[in-house]
Amino acid sequence: MKVAVVGTGYVGLATGISLAYLGHKVTCIDIAVDKIESLRQGKLPIFEPGLEELFLKAKQNLHFTTSFTQGLEQSNVIFLAVGTPANSDGSSNLTYLFSAVDETIAYLSYHKWPTVLVNKSTAPVGTSDLIVERVEAACIQHVVTVASNPEFLSQGKVVNDTLYPERIVIGGDDRAIRVLQELYSPIISQSFASPEQTPRPKHLKGVPIISVDTRSAELAKYAANAFLAMKISFINEIANLCDLVGADVTKVAAVIGKDSRIGSSFLQAGIGYGGSCFPKDTLALQFISNTIGYDFKLLSSVISVNNSQKFIIIEKLREELGPLYGKKIAVLGLTFKPGTDDIREAPSIPIIHSLLSGGAEVYVHDPVALDKARASLPSTVHFMNQLSDALIDADGALLITEWPEYLEIDAEYLSSVMRRPLFIDGRNAMDTSSWRGIIEYRGVGISNNEN
């Protein structure tokens, strides 16, 4: 089929490149001239395991353009995958989305080619209906069918999540479902040769399609992210309780996670969730609820727990070191999670600001995000290319992102280079079985009670 994808962020690129890999003819459209130029030269603007391989293999089916006229020509399916960032009141900024919609409708009003206009951007409930209104206003509803097809990609796993999703959700009418079913048929039946770097999970034989109305599809996206955020805030509250009652949250999570009704994922306690999705989407869902007069109390608590959770490790640092003025603190990791260079809404940023306001000397290290972070942090922060330079003579180290290289840090090494071998693990990620007596270790909700 012929496919156009508007927006070349994580979702747009993963969708476009994967569909081209599966044999469709894909044109990716973006208004950012530099981005399109570098994509044409074969350079990916994002760091994603396995995407380069797919990109190389799909090259002959992929085109990049800044022109809607060129990109939309004769497309059977047009995906909208542009950013919907948060406004200061928590609502979603739909400027980019509707500008893409208007450009698309302007083109289709003239060419009247039958197509399915599919929104993949996370957008408030009712957005598809607003797109339908514009399609009707342009009198092209007989050729253009509107659908909602939310994505559930995790950064660092976008190739896996695109080729081997747990479900494909389609909100729309019979025609939209039929066309998208055909488009996704290699994924639905898992009938394609899997790329070397992203092999098919052994158990996967096929992928279910869930077809619903557009409003349910739109709300399901927010509900999924809010539910996962709720699991994280829940386990973080249990962790805080563990600290007070002398229990260990990793053991509590292991016990409750074995219950298949609860599930073991997203029960990793620590400094809370960040990134470009959970913080934005929970606020947007809260905004949607408030706008219609519904007080979503549980969601408000999820957000408020997450806002305060990141500062728990600074309290722990103060409990051990007293005032932070003049103390050298090593901050390990800046990105919101490992496997990405994204620092959007990363807990590291407010944590570093708080350390600085306490007068600490802050030395940061990250394997991939130092350059990106320079723009978001004050010039008083020391950016260290070598992990050892951040740790030498430090009065304490904070683990913010569980990058694999940090998990291998040796206790003897830490104790030999740090002024005080105090290690506060904001992700409960370190294996500390051989650390006792060498390092002063504190996790989040991990008591030192051995009984």
Q: Is 152 in the site for ligand UGA (CB under 6 A)?
A: yes
> Per CB under 6 A, which region of 26-34, 44-52, 67-75, 151-159 contacts ligand UGA?
151-159
Edge to edge, the sheet with strand 396-399 lists 382-383, 361-365, 328-332, 396-399, 422-425, 440-442
User: Is 214 or 306 the residue whose CB approaches ligand UGA more closely?
Assistant: 306
Phi, psi of 440 (to 5 degrees): -85, 105
- Answer yes or no: is 54 a known binding residue: no
274 known member of a binding site:
yes
Name the 3-class secondary structure at 440. Answer: strand
How many H-runs (helices) and E-runs (strands) does the chain carry? 19, 14
Interface region with ligand UGA, contact rule CB under 6 A, candidates 71-79, 110-118, 275-283, 430-438: 275-283
273 is an interface residue for ligand UGA by CB under 6 A: yes
Which 122-141 positions form the footprint of ligand UGA (CB under 6 A)?
122
- Please identify which residue in 19, 153, 324, 399 interacts with ligand UGA, judged by CB under 6 A: 153
**Residue 36, token pair as written in the block:** 């399109």
Is position 28 annotated as part of the catalytic site? Answer: no
| The pair of three-digit structure tokens given for residue 369, joined into one six-digit string | 């995000």
Q: How far apart are CA 395 and CA 372, in angstroms?
A: 26
Q: How far is the CB of 281 from ligand UGA (least distance, A)?
A: 6
Q: Is 222 in the site for ligand UGA (CB under 6 A)?
A: no
66 is a contact residue toward ligand UGA (CB under 6 A):
no
Query: Residue 205, annotated ligand binder?
Result: no
Contact 67, 29 (CB under 8 A): yes
User: Strand, coil or helix: what is 327?
Assistant: coil
* Min CB(33)–ligand UGA separation in Å: 26
Is residue 154 part of the contact set for ligand UGA (CB under 6 A)? yes
211/225 with CB nearer ligand UGA: 225
Taking the least distance from each CB to ligand UGA, the nearer of 143 and 224 is 224
Stretch in the footprint of ligand UGA (CB under 6 A) among 177-185, 209-217, 224-232, 411-419: 224-232
Of 172 and 333, the one with the shorter C-beta distance to ligand UGA is 333
Query: Could you write out the DSSP letters of every residue in 28-61?
Result: EE-S-HHHHHHHHTT--SS--TTHHHHHHHHGGG
Tell me the C-alpha to C-alpha distance, in Å, between residue 192 and each of 23, 183, 184, 342. 10, 13, 11, 31
The whole-angstrom separation of Cα 207 and Cα 205 is: 7
One-letter amino acid of 441: Y
- Is the separation of the CB atoms in 22 and 159 below 8 Å? no
- Which candidate in 28, 139, 242, 277 is catalytic? 277
Binding track, positions 247-266, relative to ligand UGA; x by CB under 6 A: -------------------x
Binding residues for NAD(+): 30, 35, 84, 122, 280, 344
Residue numbers annotated as active site: 277
Binding residues for substrate: 221, 266-270, 274, 337
Question: Which residues make up the interface to ligand UGA (CB under 6 A)?
Answer: 122, 151-155, 225, 228, 232, 266-268, 270, 272-275, 277-278, 281, 336-337
